[in-house]
Structure 1
Amino acid sequence: MSLLKLYDKPECPFCWKVRLALHECGMAAERIDSRSPVHRPLWQALTPRKTVPVLLAGDHVIHESNVILEYLADISGRLLPANPADRIQPRQLNVYVDGVIGPALREVIFEKRDKPEAEWDPARIQAGTLAFEKALRYLSEQLGDRDFFADRYSFPECALTARFGLAEAYGVAIPDRFVNLQDWFARMKARPSYRATAP
């Protein structure tokens, strides 16, 4: 396989989940900082939405993090269960994390990022935190007492590990009523992929 190149932004949760997926698949990729003035016009010419991550795999340009995860699963045989029917739930949970958990946390992160605490809007932070906590109920039910959301490390592990990592960095904790999610996140942080890919 030709060398993979990833246009990346360290704190972007979509990029982080791709970095986790690459590591869990045992694949190396040259990481290129998308914020570099030299590289920005190069990768922006490759994607219509002008967003990262962008993965170059030989002649293939793959943008959108979920499409990248699908590609990595296809070529590695990892990140999804073997049975097609068993792949439905991990895919749905991946979308749930991006579409529900992500927007809730964005309210907190965007309010706190690069601002002194005196300028934070407490109402926005509280609303984001409450939306995050509300969204965790569904995830907790889906995880139950299992080690992973599927029969192995899969898409939701990539997406949710990145989101929980950013939540923790910005002072948003998983409430004690979701002990299974707290334990799950502790296991994810203990994996080599977390230490190797964290911003």
Structure 2
Amino acid sequence: MAERAIQLYTAPTPNGWKVSVMLEELGLPYEARLVNLLANEQKQPEFLKLNPNGRIPVIVDPGGPNGALVLFESGAILLYLAEKTGRLLPKDPAARLLAIQWLMFQMGGVGPMMGQANVFFRYLPEKIPTAIARYQNECRRLFEVLDTRLAEAEWLAGDEYSIADIANWCWVRTYKWSGVAVEGLPNLRRWLDAMKERPACQKGITVPIDMSNPGDDARKDEDFATAARTMVQR
């Protein structure tokens, strides 16, 4: 009997890409469903039944541990999929904890700080230089932490590629959009280049639609900014 596809409710944002890249890496059957942020679909009753917080991504896995499983929060989804398949999370206890540590580094640091940098640098109509500098500087500091770690190991959890790399890459790769430089960070650049070459990463950032290079394409930039600005205002 064929495995039933996971339903992925998502939009073209770093948090959404984290899950689509993961699913591509695992080769699990899935169907991506675009949540139209501009139409405020994430706040509609049918979506709020899946995630009462009104945010993407969400998965519905018909092959969950006790039947159909609904799961939100991108970090929780990455952990679930890794445990479901026994992949992309090291089995060695110390390496496993390293992977979870660097996943939480993204969830609690890189994502929120880059998100705030985007708000003040890109989305708000009034420019507040001190706020822009505060968040861009913090993003750069976090990038330096990653660079230091990547001087010690090929991947964030050590010798094994893991969910920690997926989570951090989907945010860090948008550094241009946040107005943060990566010059002088050779280990981070090496890692960014290595991630970019992975077929699953290339595919995952085009799901559910291709707005994959914010900061490089003016038309896509405007679409990306409009969607993100809508989320900020709501």
TM bucket normalised to smaller: 0.7 to 0.9
106, 109, 121: which one pairs with 1:97? 106
1:1-199 correspondence to structure 2 within 5 Å? 1-11=3-13, 13-35=14-36, 40=42, 41=44, 42-58=46-62, 59-114=68-123, 119-150=126-157, 151-176=159-184, 178-198=185-205, 199=212
Could you tell me which runs of 5 or more consecutive residues in structure 1 were left unpaired when the two chains were aligned. none
CA contact (8 A) 2:114 2:178 kept: no
CA distance in 1 between counterparts of 2:178 and 2:156 reads: 25
What's the % identity of the aligned pairs?
A: 29
Indicate if the aligned counterparts of 1:7 and 1:43 stay in contact, CA closer than 8 A: no
| Partners of 2:19 and 2:74 within 8 A in 1 | yes
Residue 3 and residue 39 in structure 1: after superposition, are their counterparts in 2 closer, same or farther (change >3 A)? Answer: farther
Bigger mean CA offset, 28-37 vs 122-131: 28-37
My pick for the range that moved more, 92-101 or 38-47, is 38-47
- Alpha-carbon distance, 1:87 to partner: 0.3
Q: CA deviation at 1:142?
A: 2.2
Distance in 1, matches of 2:87 and 2:162, equals 8
Query: What's the RMSD between the two structures over aligned residues?
Result: 2.1
Separation in 2, partners of 1:186, 1:166? 13
Change (3 A) 1:154 1:29: same
CA distance in 2, matches of 1:138, 1:127: 17
Pairs aligned (count): 195
Amino acid at match of 1:43: F
- TM-score w.r.t. the length of structure 2 is 0.75
Q: How much does 1:29 deviate?
A: 1.6
Q: Residue 65 of structure 1 aligns to which amino acid in structure 2?
A: S
Secondary structure in 2 aligned to 1:136? helix
Query: Partners of 1:186 and 1:179 in 2: how far apart?
Result: 11
Q: Equivalents in 2 of 1:193, 1:122: separation in Å?
A: 38
Give the 3-state SS of the residue equivalent to 1:7 in structure 2: strand
Distance in 1 of aligned mates of 2:28 and 2:92: 23
**CA deviation after TM superposition for structure 1 residue 143, in Å:** 2.1
Within 2, Cα distance between the matches of 1:4 and 1:157?
22
After TM superposition, the runs of 4+ consecutive aligned structure 1 residues lying more than 6 A away are none
Q: TM-score, normalised by structure 1?
A: 0.87
